[in-house]
Amino acid sequence: MWRSLPTKEEERFLLKRAITFTSDHKLYGSWMRKVVIAWPRTMLHNLTNPSINQKAFIGHCAVTMALNIPEFVTRDAWRHLSEEQQRLANIEAETTYQLWRKELKRI
């Protein structure tokens, strides 16, 4: 999730993949739900931290899990989405976060 990329060319290639992935809110949301189940310790550690944007974190993790794309590329991809695409992705993230809080959180 935090790795660097060797070249700007690879970064541009991954950015295009991240834009395509995050613009499909249903696909993106399905991976959000997968990641909160597959990475329980990571979710517990980060989603209980009030200084972290929980929904963005879930989205970053989903892209990393699905495509092995680092977080900074996902943040850049977000800027390329339309307001409607962002709104729909945010609904998926909020739904996933609430699912995690109600059914998956273990403290």
Question: pLDDT per residue over 38-85, tens digit each?
Answer: 999 999 999 999 999 999 999 999 999 999 999 999 999 999 999 999
pLDDT of 27 strictly over 90: yes
Tokens of 71: 């977080």
Cα separation, 6 vs 25, whole angstroms: 29
**pTM of the prediction?**
0.89
Other C-beta atoms closer than 10 Å to the C-beta of 57 total: 20
Distance CA(107)–CA(94), nearest Å, equals 20
Q: What is the CA radius of gyration of the chain?
A: 13
Helix (H, G, I), strand (E, B) or coil at 3: coil
